[in-house]
Each structure stands twice: as C-alpha cells, then as structure tokens.
Copies of this chain bind each other. A is one copy, B any other.
Amino acid sequence: MISKNEIKFVRSLHQKKFRDEYSLFIIEGEKMLNEAKTSGFEIVSVYYKDDIGDEEMERISALSSPSPVLAVLKQKKANSLPIPGKGTLSLALDGVRDPGNFGTIIRIADWFGIDNIYASTDSVELYNPKVIQASMGSVFRKDVHYVNLEWLVNKIKGSMPIYGTLLNGNSIYETKLTSSGLIVMGNESNGISPEIEKSVDKRILIPPYPIESKGSESLNVATATAIVCSEFRRASASQLRTK
C-alpha cells in the first residue's frame, strides 16, 4: 500500500526543485537497488509494484515502462574537492546537458577507471532520474564534482596536459597520450566554451573515415568520450607492456 500523499511526494522527486529541497533522489530496477545496498548511499524507502499496485507504480515511476521496484535514496554530499594530481586521468564536462549522455559518460568513466569527473555548474544535475538510469549503477561508484571549470582548468594548467576534442584538433590516433591529464568534453551543440578552450594544451580530433568524407557532421558527446577514454587507456596499456 502507498498513500496518495506518498505518491505525490515520490512523484515530486521527478523534479530538480524537490530533489534539491529534500536532498533525495529515485532509482528504479532490481539491479540498481542491489547496487545501492552496497554503495554507502542511504536508502530511505523501497516500493515494490507487487505491494503497491501497477497504477501506483506507474505514477511514481519516471520510466515509460516502470520497473518492479523503485527506491528513494538520500543524496550524498560531495566530499572535499579532489584536485587532479600527477598520475591521474580526469574528465571535465563543459556543459553536457543531455541526461542520457551524462549518465552514459559516468558509466564510461567507471569502465575506464577515470580518476575524477568534474562537471561545469551548467551541466545537467547528477540526480536527474535519466542520468541515474543511464549510468547503470556507476553513479554509486564514481563521484561527480560540480565546479567552476574555468577556475579548475587555470589551477592545474602547467601541472598536467589539458586535452580537448576540437574540430581543428590533431588526429587522436597520432597524438601521444600521457597517463596524467585532464580531458575536456564540450556541450552537445556548442562544444567547449571559449574560456575553457584557451587553456587546452592538446587539441585532439577523432578522424572520420575516410578522412576526407562528409559523413555525419559529428559524433555524440558520449560516443566521443568513449573513444577518447579508450585511446588513453590503450596508450597506458601499451606503456605498461613496453616497461
């Protein structure tokens, strides 16, 4: 059973305003719940479709086809901000707005063992249900730090290379990729903002094939992030082999 007020409350968490106010968020699905249990996140309440009814589940769910289970979790307050240091590979998201892309990027960062994820303050909110679902549980393993990216980039400039994917960049296949660095990925429509771009030391590009082709104009930002992270880890793996 679930009361009307409880339905209303859980539904309110579909909106950022109420997520912020209560410092709560929702997750959906058995797999997510299992991961949540060992994640260190506090589980506030759990609703099973079998207990509360199909119609009620549809009302509290943010999915078009509701899962058998939905849980309300407490948001984690960010730890003190880690500054990227020597030997770390970090990702900076400069205005990534699409929640599916953002969640997918967290999942990619998790797979490739990216040390830190920074997001500009105009990026989509981490606790958006679509971000949470697209991350497939990676949100439980990776912290995302919302920062003034311009400040961060200026702070670390000179201490490690700052990479950015730009249309006038050099082929990533022919670029020496270091094991330390910050990789900046830009907004879906506008790419990297000018204030950040001026601090980019290494401009990289994923070349289309054939190189002179006029195929699709761009790759999706999550797709590009995947390829870039893979290239960095490929370089690290090959350095390990030659040691």
Contact = CB atoms under 8 A, between A and B. Distances in A.
Interface of A: 100, 104, 107-108, 110-113, 136-138, 141, 171, 173, 206-211, 213, 215-220, 222-224, 226-227, 230-231, 233-234, 236-238
Contact of A237 (B110, B173, B220, B226): B173
B220 A206 contact: no
A112 B209 contact: yes
Contacts of A137: 216-217
Nearest to A141: B215
A113 B216 contact: no
B223 A104 contact: yes
Contact of A219 (B107, B113, B207, B219): B107
Contacts of A224: 226
A209 B238 CA distance: 12
A166 to B, nearest CB: 16
Given A173-B238, A237-B207, A113 B223 contact: no
A220 B133 CA distance: 12
25 contacts: A104-B223, A107-B219, A108-B219, A108-B223, A111-B206, A111-B209, A111-B215, A111-B216, A111-B218, A111-B219, A112-B215, A113-B208, A113-B210, A136-B216, A136-B218, A137-B217, A138-B216, A171-B237, A206-B230, A219-B226, A223-B226, A224-B226, A226-B227, A227-B230, A230-B231
